[in-house]
């Protein structure tokens, strides 16, 4: 079982998810966030917080997003931890509207 961030997060990086993560396992690059599967406790706290529904839990990952499991696992450990709320990326609101949220 793994919880992952997927492409909806790209270009917006609202960090509502981070504030409720009990173990601070989100990491970030310039584009989006990733979850470190070795630290995440699969508590699902972050899932309902994400305004663009970018986060999925293990049993619920759509087939076309399955490759994100490996992407999260590879990238997260090499990136800085995101512990607190950050400013959304420029254009985040537009992107959110574009995604239909």
Partner 1 sequence: MSNVGTPDNPLRVAIVGSGPSGFYATEALLKSDASVRIDMLERLPCPFGLVRSGVAPDHQKLKQAIQLYDKIAQSDGFSFLGNVTVGHDLSVDELKQSHHAIIFACGAESDRKLNIPGEDLKGSHTATEFVGWYNGHPDYRDREFDLSHPNAVIIGQGNVAADVSRILSKTTDELKHTDIAEHALAVLSESKIRDIYVIGRRGPAQAKFTPKELREFGELDDCDPVVNAEDLALNSESQIELEDKSNAGNAKVYKLFNEFSQRTPSGKNKRCHFMFLLSPLELIGKNRLEKVRLEKNQLTGEPFNQSAIGTGEITEIDTGILFRSIGYRGIAITGVPFDERRGIFPNNDGRIIDDGNIVPQLYTAGWIKRGPTGIIGTNRADSVATVESLLNDLHNSTFDNAKNGADFLIPLLETRNVRYVTYPEWMKIDTVEIKQGQEKGKPREKFTRIEEMLNILD
Give the x-and-dash track for 37-56 against ligand SF4 (CB under 6 A).
---xxxxxxx--xx-x-xx-
| Beta carbons of 86 and 31 less than 8 angstroms apart | no
- Stretch (H or E) spanning 4: strand 3-5
* Cα distance between residue 32 and residue 30, in whole Å: 6
User: Which of 3, 2, 33 has its CA nearest to residue 15?
Assistant: 33
**Cβ distance to ligand SF4 smaller for residue 52 or 69:** 52
The dihedral sign for the CA sequence 40, 41, 47, 48: negative
In the complex, least distance from residue 13 CB atom to partner 1, rounded to whole angstroms: 17
- Residue 54 binds which of ligand SF4, partner 1, none (CB < 5-8 A, kind-dependent): ligand SF4
Q: Which of 11, 27, 33, 56 binds ligand SF4 (CB under 6 A)?
A: 33
**Cβ distance to ligand SF4 smaller for residue 49 or 79:** 49
By residue count, the chain amounts to 101
| 45's tokens | 């706290």
Interface with ligand SF4 by CB under 6 A: which residues?
3, 5, 9, 12-17, 20-23, 25, 32-33, 35, 40-46, 49-50, 52, 54-55
């Amino acid at each position: 079982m793994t919880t992952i961030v997927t492409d909806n997060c790209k270009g917006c990086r609202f960090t509502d998810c981070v504030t409720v993560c009990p173990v601070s396992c989100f990491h970030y690059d310039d584009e989006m966030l990733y979850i470190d599967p070795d630290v995440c406790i699969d508590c699902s706290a972050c899932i309902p917080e994400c305004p663009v529904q970018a986060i999925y839990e293990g049993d619920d990952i759509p087939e076309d997003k399955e490759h994100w499991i490996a992407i999260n696992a590879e990238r997260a450990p090499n990136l800085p931890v995101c512990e607190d709320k950050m400013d959304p990326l420029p254009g985040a609101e537009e992107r959110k509207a574009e995604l239909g949220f």
